[in-house]
Amino acid sequence: MQVLTSEEMFSLFRVARLVLDPFRELCLELALSSSGLGMIPDIAAGAGADQVLTVKFRRAGDVLREAFGMYLATLHETEQYALYLRSAPHKAAGLVSECSDPGTKDKILAELKDEWQLILELEGSASGAALLRANCLHCTFQCFRETMGAYEKSNWKLEAEANGITAAWFPSFCQSASLESVFGDLSDACKRSLQNRLGTADGAPDQVQGKNPEVAAAGFWASNCFATGMLLKYKDCFYVATGKTPGVLQAARLMELPYVFSGKLPQQATDETRMPCIAPVEEDPLDEGSRTAALTLDVGRHLIHQLCFEYDEVRLYGYTLHICDKSLEAKCGTAVILRRGLQELPLMEYLVFSQQILLCTNASLTELLQQHDIQMPKNSTKPQRLRRILAMDQVRNACGDAKIQKLLSLLEEQEAKKKNKEKENEEQKNEDEVEWEELLEDPATEACKQLLARMEEEEKQDEDKQDR
């Protein structure tokens, strides 16, 4: 009903119809085209030599940002779906495939060999073994170690014994009951991994290669603080996060265009025929006189990257989204252009500035505080840790007192709602206890108990008579 009566909901439905269609060819590319979005362009390229992009009007509503987040979430889920089959030991199933592709099979063997050698090296020290148990418990599973051991015995060659063990673990066809059991175990493992920050850097050898695994593991928690749509800079390259994952961060690569944005956004034009119910307040990341290069998605086979970084290796930015015309879309491969701000913030300051700090787990807040040599009691609550972060001088200087006060007000509202909910649960619990006490005093219940007791005595007497 909302899709039929709300223009904003209909616009989101039109984008979702493309993004969520799993069997449509090139659905992801079509989703961010001007025809797929159904939005008119709001930027135009200037005629000057510096190629300044001019924002013609300020777009009302959050439809474009929601559509962009929907696209990134679809990318994230697609990669997560394939991650299971691309990870050891499950990718070893490709070695017993009937397809004749020696190059791919040699690549799989090389990746399995590198991973197995890394595991053996870590297990050679007490600290490395503890690291594996804490973050990569699957390395102790029989399926993993038996498959790896078989190929190590065959000197990482496709021999009959190793192929036989792999074929036994990964048969060609499975019954539906087996598949349901596997997916049930995967769902439970995913829930535990998000709660306990368990993760592995498998699947991202290019980014992790050259780092000490024990040192890199100290930053595994950092990617858990990222949310869909956060713009970051890592090693002089720009990325936008597709979702929250433990261990490594999945992000879409951005490229800089030979165009620049200059100055602030134009004032919001009032259209009395299309008045929003709640007018969103969007902060402008660019000040008057500031200039930044335009960014867009680096569309292609290498759009998605897996990043493994430490806390102080990334900087984050605010940005606005815009739609370009057909000519620029043909050059970029997408109609969505990002207009970033000049101000770059470390992870903790950006989480406070964007209010994403309220969504972080208590474990992530503890790690954030430890990065700044701040220790708090283990029994400290999440609101206590949040208030300690908001009281830091560097956070106040970066975000301003107004933003801090707003977050403190939101935190108080959350605490009040939690107390009211606990009070309602306590009242409900007391009511249940009263009903149970009344049930204990029910005459019918007492009569049933007495009848059962007499039946047990009679059965015992019959057994004694038979023994005699």
| CA pair distance 465, 437, nearest whole angstrom | 40
| CA pair distance 18, 190, nearest whole angstrom | 27
pLDDT of residue 200: 35
pLDDT at 295 over 90: yes
Q: In the chain, what percentage of residues exceed pLDDT 90?
A: 16
pLDDT at 159 over 50: yes
* Better-scored residue on pLDDT, 65 or 429: 65
Confidence class for position 210, pLDDT limits 50, 70, 90: very low
Confidence class for position 190, pLDDT limits 50, 70, 90: low
The predicted-structure confidence for 316-368, as pLDDT tens digits, reads as follows 999 999 988 888 888 777 888 999 999 899 999 999 998 889 888 888 888 88
Tokens of 275: 């008045």
What rounded mean pLDDT belongs to the chain? 79
Helix (H) or strand (E) holding 307: strand 304-307
* pLDDT, mean of residues 379-386: 89
Alpha-carbon distances, residue 429 vs 280, 416, 438 (angstroms): 41, 20, 14
Tokens of 321: 């989204």
251 three-class SS: strand
322 three-class SS: strand
The predicted-structure confidence for 266-280, as pLDDT tens digits, reads as follows 887 766 666 666 655
Q: Note the helical H segments in 93-159.
A: 102-123, 126-135, 142-153
pLDDT of residue 191: 64
pLDDT of residue 231: 94
323 three-class SS: strand
pLDDT of residue 201: 35
Confidence class for position 230, pLDDT limits 50, 70, 90: very high
The predicted-structure confidence for 81-138, as pLDDT tens digits, reads as follows 777 788 888 888 888 888 778 888 899 999 999 989 988 988 888 888 888 887 788 8
pLDDT of residue 198: 34
Q: Are 72 and 229 in contact (CB under 8 A)?
A: yes
| CA pair distance 58, 309, nearest whole angstrom | 36
Please state the three-class secondary structure of 223-234 as a single string: HHHCCCCCEEEE
Which of 359, 358, 351 shows the shortest CA–CA distance to 412? 358
pLDDT of residue 137: 83
pLDDT of residue 197: 37
Least confident of 165-169, 325-329, 433-437: 433-437
Beta-carbon count within 10 A of 60 CB: 17
Q: Are 255 and 299 in contact (CB under 8 A)?
A: no
Half-sphere exposure of 333 (CA within 13 A, CB side): 14
Q: Are 259 and 51 in contact (CB under 8 A)?
A: yes
| CA pair distance 328, 361, nearest whole angstrom | 41
Residue with structure tokens 């969103």?
A: 280
pLDDT of residue 59: 81
Q: Are 219 and 310 in contact (CB under 8 A)?
A: yes
Least confident of 25-39, 66-80, 316-330, 365-379: 25-39
| CA pair distance 33, 31, nearest whole angstrom | 6
| Residue 337: φ, ψ to 5° | -120, 135
pLDDT of residue 204: 38
* pLDDT, mean of residues 65-69: 85
pLDDT at 50 over 70: no
| CA pair distance 127, 217, nearest whole angstrom | 12
| CA pair distance 407, 414, nearest whole angstrom | 11
pTM: 0.71
Residue with structure tokens 């993004």?
A: 19
* pLDDT, mean of residues 305-317: 87
pLDDT of residue 462: 78
User: DSSP string of 343-364?
Assistant: --B-HHHHHHHTTGGGGS-HHH
pLDDT at 233 over 90: yes
Q: Is the peptide bond before 346 cis (omega within 30 degrees of 0)?
A: no
Our measurement of the distance from residue 283's CA atom to the centroid of its chain's CA atoms, rounded to an integer in Å, reads 25
* pLDDT, mean of residues 297-304: 82
pLDDT of residue 442: 67
273 burial class (0-12, 13-18, 19+ CB within 10 angstroms)?
A: exposed
44 burial class (0-12, 13-18, 19+ CB within 10 angstroms)?
A: middle
Q: Are 337 and 296 in contact (CB under 8 A)?
A: yes
